[in-house]
A and B are shown apart, each in its own frame.
Chain A
Amino acid sequence: MTTTEIALARPRGTSGHALSRRDIRLGEILLAPALAYIFLLVALPFLLALFLSLTNSSAGSLEFSFVGLQNFRSVMYSPVFRRALTNTFVFTFLSQLLVIVLGNILARALMVPFRGKLAVRFLILLPWAAPISLATLGWLWIFDSTFSVINWVLKVVGWLGPGQWYYWLGDPVLGMIAIITVHVWRMLPFSTVILLAGLTSIPKEVHEAADLDGAGPLAKAFQITLPMMLPILTVAVLFGVVFTFTDMSVVYLLTRGGPFNSTHVLASLAFQDGVLGGDVGRGAAVAIFLVPLLVVMAVVMLRLSRRAEVV
């Protein structure tokens, strides 16, 4: 088109430049509530936590003094903190690995049409929709040291002999398994939905072309599906990692960090020390200890995701 034809093609009474400005203004207004929410409920509390971590603030007092990095030094010497730090990484890594693997399997199963697919999809989404406190109370009974239904079933089928019993929440290792199980159960629906979206976004023609070229399932998986899903997979993993790193509800409701503080993660330990124990400064230091690492991880993964985008 010539310049004249382009000018004639614009709507009457408007100029392209003025329309763009209105769009931008509308966009800012629509974005403002979300930014307000993030600022008030995320940024402000974070800055407050950062400030409190540098003070000797306690629950029963509004007065405090600046103590520099003393809280951080103190927690780093604490064996309970070191254990909680290790648990946070173990808990996050293992639960995310399981979520991605199982989510992939579920997503692929849901791509295939079958009878009752809607009902199955609903059931899969249910853990995500259920309030975590309610769900964890249910799991508390499932893993109860005396009344566990898992143990009862294992007894009935003969897996557990006389005098044998799994003390799910009374053993440090079994406690972590219980926590990871509940967390995977809870995160699986979200991961499945994201992975399903990623899988369905891969054009059929790409798979067909690969079939014509004689690519086997493994080759298609690692050379087509995975690279094309990498952007969405990265975002799913990033979300899952950050969410898991900062979650305390499952640990607090299931084990309260026990037995003997062996299943604490940083978030639950921060609550125990800061709110229950009243040492707000120490609790804040524990809570934000991993923030620098999480920020670096978020930046790296988002960059990875952008580079992996297939245009």
Chain B
Amino acid sequence: MQSRRQFILKGAKLVAVGAAAASSGPTVFVRGAGAADKQLKVLQWAHFVPAYDKWFDPWAKAWGAKHGVEVTVDHVGFADVVPRATAEVAAQSGHDVHMFIGLASAFEEHVIDLKEVSGALEKKYGKPVELAHRSTYNPFTKKQFALSDMWVPDPGNYHKKVWTDIGMPNGPSTYEDLVKAAPEIKKVAPQMQIPIGIGLSQDIDSNMAVRNILWCHGGSIQDAEGNVVLNSPETLKAIEYTKRLYSVGMNQAVLSWNAASNNQAFNAQETSYILNSISAYRTAQDNKLPVLENYFFVPALKGPTGIQRASEHVMSGYVVWKFSKNQDVAKQFLMALVEASRESMLASKLYNFPSYYGAVADPGTPMNKKAESGAAWIAKQCNADPFGSQPPDKLSLLASALSWSTNLGYPGFANPAEGEIFDTYVITDMFAKAATGALSPRDALTEASNRAKEIFAKWRKKKMVGGGSKDR
């Protein structure tokens, strides 16, 4: 009689034999290779404004039909964009085109250089906006690793009635205004759970918000050359400011927010100010919510020395994988997508702003006037919202959004190290720990700075990030 051990060993041998047989005979189940039609598979996020996807999918198919290409578009939640890319790179198969909404730079090694496409677009429409260029080009490796067709501004959204009641009918214009306003808001609107709704949680909106505060106080993670400069008096000032703001105008709710929470809180009139794109506003419009009549916008707030900077809320970065067998088709698709920038902006209800302003210029505009013409067209849409804003010029501030918007990685270029710091919430945690008293501002800064330097050092070893000689 066999023992249990012998029994299991024999079973394992059977498995090993079976696995060896399967691996040595792949030809048995291989599909016959017939004449291949042109195909293109695109992986895209599920847009925060659903109307955009209703436009994009048929547009992509129609483009494909016109060019003899079978186009398939798959949508994933924004949080799944990076994990899907990780899986496809590991498997070396999947979609041809992958859209990132943050930093695609970590995947630079596995994507083709799109210099040819960006060059052609530049010849046709002029340069892309600077923040799009800095999000899709690596000056260290000199590779155009992604192509951006759109970016999204991140204005302040404020509750008109509440701010009017405290004597600021046009909303805040500086970060210090938030601190002054918070106690007054508590008096006039005690039912509002969170007077000032700036997230300090591990989510995308909070990541943008804390960077806005950091930059407006003169701090940054890296400098223009890629040196880590987070550990600075300016960063400490930004952290101390946030601690003050938290103590007068926020509470623990903002530490638990996800990407939809600030939208929900504002639309439920539980907060009087958030930092968000116009997606929350469009939701309020679509659902005719009571908050709509008091839903207004302000540009990026100014810091103590007048710096006015806000991160883009979303930056598209389309990459074409090296393992794609349809690279030429993919490049043509991306060209066409940029060419359709007007439709894209309108389909998204003005959520998407074009990365190539020249692509939305009036037809027939001379090359040297295209950017200006494009800006004029954008301004026309913002000044008279075709989607029913009351008053019609409610979104007019967005016309000048480019002047106060910047890229992740500011004042430098986006890079994999910035991407990892973003995706592991190093900066939001720094602000959150100091604001709640879990750590002193100085200790929170030291902890975050050490982690940032560790991350940068790792990517420098892989030769994908520059700097290092002037790390603080």
Binding site for B on A (CB under 8 A): 20, 24, 27-29, 31-32, 35-36, 39-40, 56, 58-63, 74, 78-79, 145-147, 165, 167-172, 175, 255-262, 272-273, 275-279
Task: List the A residue with the shortest CB-CB distance to B82.
Answer: A276
Task: Indicate whether B149 reaches chain A with its CB closer than 8 angstroms.
Answer: no
Task: Indicate whether B26 reaches chain A with its CB closer than 8 angstroms.
Answer: no
Task: List the A residue with the shortest CB-CB distance to B251.
Answer: A167
A-contacting residues, B1-17, CB 8 Å? 1-2, 7-8, 10-12, 14-15
A-B residue pairs in contact (CB < 8 Å), sample of 21:
A20-B1, A24-B2, A24-B10, A39-B12, A56-B461, A59-B106, A60-B86, A60-B416, A146-B193, A146-B253, A170-B255, A172-B438, A175-B256, A258-B256, A259-B436, A260-B429, A272-B423, A277-B420, A278-B82, A278-B419, A278-B423
Bound complex: CA A85 to CA B253 (Å): 25
Q: Which residues of A contact B264 (CB under 8 A)?
A: 146-147
Task: List the A residue with the shortest CB-CB distance to B110.
Answer: A60
Q: Which residues of B contact A169 (CB under 8 A)?
A: 255-256
* Given A146-B270, A279-B420, A35 and B255 contact (CB-CB distance below 8 Å): no
Provide the main secondary structure of the chain B interface: helix
Q: Which residues of A contact B18 (CB under 8 A)?
A: 32, 36
Bound complex: CA A63 to CA B110 (Å): 11
* Given A36-B18, A146-B265, A258-B202, A167 and B110 contact (CB-CB distance below 8 Å): no
Q: Please tell me if the beta carbons of A165 and B201 are within 8 angstroms of each other in the complex.
A: no
* Given A28-B11, A59-B106, A61-B110, A258 and B255 contact (CB-CB distance below 8 Å): yes
Q: Please tell me if the beta carbons of B461 and A74 are within 8 angstroms of each other in the complex.
A: no
Q: Which residues of A contact B93 (CB under 8 A)?
A: none
Q: Please tell me if the beta carbons of B253 and A145 are within 8 angstroms of each other in the complex.
A: yes
Task: Tell which of B12, B83, B107 touches A275, judged by Cβ atoms closer than 8 Å.
Answer: B83
Q: Which residues of A contact B194 (CB under 8 A)?
A: 146
Q: Which residues of B contact A272 (CB under 8 A)?
A: 423-425
Q: Please tell me if the beta carbons of B7 and A60 are within 8 angstroms of each other in the complex.
A: no
Q: Please tell me if the beta carbons of B428 and A256 are within 8 angstroms of each other in the complex.
A: no
Bound complex: CA A167 to CA B90 (Å): 39
Q: Which residues of A contact B83 (CB under 8 A)?
A: 275-276
Task: Indicate whether B458 reaches chain A with its CB closer than 8 angstroms.
Answer: yes
A-contacting residues, B199-245, CB 8 Å? 200-203
Task: List the A residue with the shortest CB-CB distance to B13.
Answer: A28
Q: Which residues of A contact B1 (CB under 8 A)?
A: 20
Q: Please tell me if the beta carbons of A60 and B15 are within 8 angstroms of each other in the complex.
A: no
* Given A31-B8, A256-B203, A277-B420, A167 and B256 contact (CB-CB distance below 8 Å): yes
Q: Please tell me if the beta carbons of B14 and A59 are within 8 angstroms of each other in the complex.
A: no
Given contacts A61-B110, A170-B254, A258-B256, 7 further A-B pairs with CB under 8 A are A58-B462, A60-B89, A62-B110, A171-B255, A259-B201, A260-B255, A277-B423
* Given A36-B19, A60-B416, A260-B438, A170 and B458 contact (CB-CB distance below 8 Å): no
Digitize B244-272: 1 where CB-to-A-CB distance is under 8 Å, 0 elsewhere. 00000001111111100100110010100
Q: Please tell me if the beta carbons of A60 and B253 are within 8 angstroms of each other in the complex.
A: no
Q: Please tell me if the beta carbons of A145 and B423 are within 8 angstroms of each other in the complex.
A: no
Task: Indicate whether B432 reaches chain A with its CB closer than 8 angstroms.
Answer: yes
Task: List the A residue with the shortest CB-CB distance to B258.
Answer: A256
Q: Which residues of A contact B251 (CB under 8 A)?
A: 165, 167, 170
Bound complex: CA A35 to CA B203 (Å): 40
Task: Indicate whether B309 reaches chain A with its CB closer than 8 angstroms.
Answer: no
Q: Which residues of A contact B11 (CB under 8 A)?
A: 27-28, 31-32, 35
Task: Indicate whether B349 reaches chain A with its CB closer than 8 angstroms.
Answer: no
Q: Please tell me if the beta carbons of B428 and A60 are within 8 angstroms of each other in the complex.
A: no
Bound complex: CA A56 to CA B261 (Å): 36
Q: Which residues of B contact A35 (CB under 8 A)?
A: 8, 11-12, 14-15
Task: Indicate whether B85 reaches chain A with its CB closer than 8 angstroms.
Answer: yes
Task: Indicate whether B165 reaches chain A with its CB closer than 8 angstroms.
Answer: no
Task: Tell which of B14, B85, B106, B425 touches A32, judged by Cβ atoms closer than 8 Å.
Answer: B14
Task: Indicate whether B385 reaches chain A with its CB closer than 8 angstroms.
Answer: no
Task: List the A residue with the shortest CB-CB distance to B186.
Answer: A163
Task: Indicate whether B362 reaches chain A with its CB closer than 8 angstroms.
Answer: no
Task: Tell which of A31, A172, A276 touches B424, judged by Cβ atoms closer than 8 Å.
Answer: A276
Task: Tell which of B2, B109, B261 touches A61, judged by Cβ atoms closer than 8 Å.
Answer: B109
CB distance from B124 to the nearest CB of A (A): 30
Bound complex: CA A148 to CA B19 (Å): 51
Q: Which residues of B contact A79 (CB under 8 A)?
A: 447
Nearest 8 Cβ contacts at the A-B interface: A170-B252, A169-B256, A259-B255, A167-B252, A145-B253, A60-B107, A170-B256, A170-B255
Task: Indicate whether B108 reaches chain A with its CB closer than 8 angstroms.
Answer: yes
Task: Indicate whether B133 reaches chain A with its CB closer than 8 angstroms.
Answer: no
Instruction: Please indicate which of the listed interface residues B7, B110, B424 has the most CB atoms of chain A within 10 Å of its own CB.
Output: B424
Q: Which residues of B contact A146 (CB under 8 A)?
A: 193-194, 253, 261, 264-265, 268, 270
Q: Which residues of A contact B458 (CB under 8 A)?
A: 56, 279
Instruction: Please indicate which of the listed interface residues A29, A40, A63, A278 has the most CB atoms of chain B within 10 Å of its own CB.
Output: A278
Task: Indicate whether B433 reaches chain A with its CB closer than 8 angstroms.
Answer: yes
Q: Please tell me if the beta carbons of B14 and A60 are within 8 angstroms of each other in the complex.
A: no
Q: Which residues of B contact A175 (CB under 8 A)?
A: 256
Q: Please tell me if the beta carbons of B86 and A28 are within 8 angstroms of each other in the complex.
A: no
Task: Indicate whether B74 reaches chain A with its CB closer than 8 angstroms.
Answer: no
Q: Please tell me if the beta carbons of A168 and B416 are within 8 angstroms of each other in the complex.
A: no
Bound complex: CA A20 to CA B2 (Å): 10
Bound complex: CA A165 to CA B107 (Å): 44
Bound complex: CA A167 to CA B436 (Å): 13
Q: Which residues of B contact A59 (CB under 8 A)?
A: 82, 85-86, 89, 106-107
Bound complex: CA A78 to CA B426 (Å): 12
CB distance from B312 to the nearest CB of A (A): 20
Q: Please tell me if the beta carbons of B256 and A61 are within 8 angstroms of each other in the complex.
A: no
Q: Please tell me if the beta carbons of B7 and A28 are within 8 angstroms of each other in the complex.
A: yes
* Given A20-B1, A60-B416, A278 and B255 contact (CB-CB distance below 8 Å): no
Task: Indicate whether B454 reaches chain A with its CB closer than 8 angstroms.
Answer: yes
Bound complex: CA A256 to CA B259 (Å): 12
Bound complex: CA A14 to CA B89 (Å): 58
A-contacting residues, B423-458, CB 8 Å? 423-425, 428-429, 432-433, 436, 438, 447, 451, 454, 458
Q: Please tell me if the beta carbons of A275 and B86 are within 8 angstroms of each other in the complex.
A: yes
CB distance from B461 to the nearest CB of A (A): 7
Bound complex: CA A12 to CA B319 (Å): 73
Q: Which residues of A contact B258 (CB under 8 A)?
A: 256
Q: Which residues of B contact A61 (CB under 8 A)?
A: 89, 109-110, 462
